[in-house]
A and B are shown apart, each in its own frame.
Chain A
Amino acid sequence: MLSVSGLTMRFGGLKAVDELSFEARAGDITAVIGPNGAGKTTVFNCITGFYRPTVGTIVLTHPDGGTYPLQRMPGHRIASAARVARTFQNIRLFAGMTVLENLLVAQHNTLMAATGLGVLAVLGLGRYRAAEAAGVKKARHWLDAIGLTARADDPAGALPYGAQRRLEIARAMCIDPVLLCLDEPAAGLNPRESEELNQLLLRIRQEGCSLLLIEHDMGVVMRISDHIVVLDHGKKISDGTPAEVRADPTVIAAYLGEGEEDEVPA
């Protein structure tokens, strides 16, 4: 699905990511973990086109066989053509727009294609009306999934924090991604919200979208991920199933900590 090889990202003298290679398989939830400053978000920014890697390739293979060299594509094409969606560590919603508008903006390219270069739609002609109805229907589907249907007409900025996190995920899903990249989706959530998030992520996987997530909450990581990549100082120090990674002595030394097994819920 996603194949990262030899990825290096340099900021001046600093090597934030160093010769990183890993694979994320289709239909899996792949987690990237590591201590603060390990280069996790940098990897994400390279995959989603916000940074251009210094060296290395990132190749995405669609289920239909099409391949996309993400390291060479402009940022917006990674979302619109390669269908890689992402969320942000600090939530980036359109706060002054309603929940529904947020979800419709995410379908911009599909809706735009139905406006007949804008001219027809301005005149109220063409198939835009039908396209918008379909867009609202899709938004409705995700609103039901995240339990925010009743608040569809409220501004996104007025939602509680947990709901904003879920909305950001729903918005990303509205571009019909094949790969969804989540940057610390459980940060700041209480245990109940965190559990709801797990269910939402499992549901997204069930609908056929692969996931890549950065997370510090080991409860979320160990419970739902199929595959874990551990980074430290920009280098990969471990790669495998949750059980393998938890038993890996280098990971315990660098990140999980020794003799504190009870802090890591099974």
Chain B
Amino acid sequence: MKLENEDALDNYIICHQCLTLHEEIAIADGSHACCTGCGGVLYRYNTQRIDHGLALSITGLIFFALANFFPLVQIEVLGTEQFITISKTIFTLFESGFYLVGLICAFLIFIFPLMIFLINLCVFALLKAQKGKKITKELLVLLAYITPWSMTDIFLVSILVALVKLIGYAQIHIGVAFWALLVFVLIDVYLVKRIQIFEIWMLHKRIFAHKDEV
């Protein structure tokens, strides 16, 4: 394989699932390229990616705020009412002496998801404004480190499992925050889990290369 210089490697892509080397080709708007080895998605191309990303990160943050301020579920047992919020779940662990688990939970279901959406917001806003080449790079590196550690989707399923366990013992009322969390998880799956960071790097390169020419 012959190349002009090392930067020409940008035209190649290695599949993240099976490490097969591919040459990057231009594809139609809204479509995606698949790996020849394992069939996994290599990259997607969408001209509206930045606008969508910006809009969805703001929406996600609003729903995340809602999910934190209101009670998730409320139960009635023997005439007494109890409710939980995300923060109460974490603080109860601390109160009963499980500092390590409390800390892990705090990071997995609160700090990391919040950070991911804030970083996404900043990155897409900077790309939209075509500013801050260096800071975008650093944010993207940080994003790559924390993305595997956000588990709001698993937390949502856990709440459901816990509620099903309680059926028959207590009356259950699902709160506003639960639905907000559900929307947040859907956005999280669409925006963070589906888009690979590689695609944002492609956007980053295209925007700043274009800007350097001008």
Query: Is this pair of chains taken from one and the same complex?
Result: no
Residues of A within 8 A of B (CB): none
Residues of B within 8 A of A (CB): none
